[in-house]
Amino acid sequence: MNNVAKLNDAHALMQSIASSIIETQEAIVNLETKHFSIEYLRDETEQTLETAGAECLKAEKIIQKMLGKFEVTKQGETAKLIDEALSRIFVDISTNDLTAVEELLSVVPKKNLLAFIDQERLREKELRINNPHPH
């Protein structure tokens, strides 16, 4: 092979190597760009999750406060209803009208009535034991 042919082959090989180097450099730049994009997305995701977590905690505290206020209100309303019912029962008993009391007790579950009666019997028994000679 003559020198010109060898030079042409060497030139073609150099161009191929140069082209490969350029492609490799472009691939490296592309990978670095993707890496920075991934890092950016990871940072943004972490920040978003932290913000969302903080917002969830705030919302949970607000809900707890609201439920607490609701419970207090509910308990207050229930207490008022019970007081009104007791007043009405007292009036009915003092006038010997037990119809409303009977109707009220008819909707109380049987197990609750039995538990109440057993509890009252136990109290009466304790009173008799503690006070064997009432005046």
**5-61 tens-digit pLDDT:** 888 888 888 998 888 899 999 889 889 999 888 999 998 888 888 888 888 788 788
pTM of the model: 0.37
pLDDT score recorded for residue 134: 60
Q: Are 88 and 100 in contact (CB under 8 A)?
A: yes
How far, CA to CA in Å, does 100 sit from each of 52, 79, 86, 104, 105?
A: 55, 19, 11, 6, 9
Cβ-Cβ contacts under 8 Å for 89 (sequence gap 6 or more):
100, 101, 104
Alpha carbon distance 107, 100 (integer Å): 11
Same domain, 74 and 110: no
Q: What is the pLDDT of residue 99?
A: 87
Q: For residue 69, what pLDDT is reported? A: 72
% of the chain residues with pLDDT over 90:
3
Give me the number of domains the chain comprises.
2
| Position with higher pLDDT, 73 vs 103 | 103
**57 and 13 share a domain?**
yes
Range of the domain at 121: 98-135
Which pLDDT band holds residue 113 (cuts at 50, 70, 90)? confident
80 and 109 inside one domain: no
32, two tokens: 């670095």
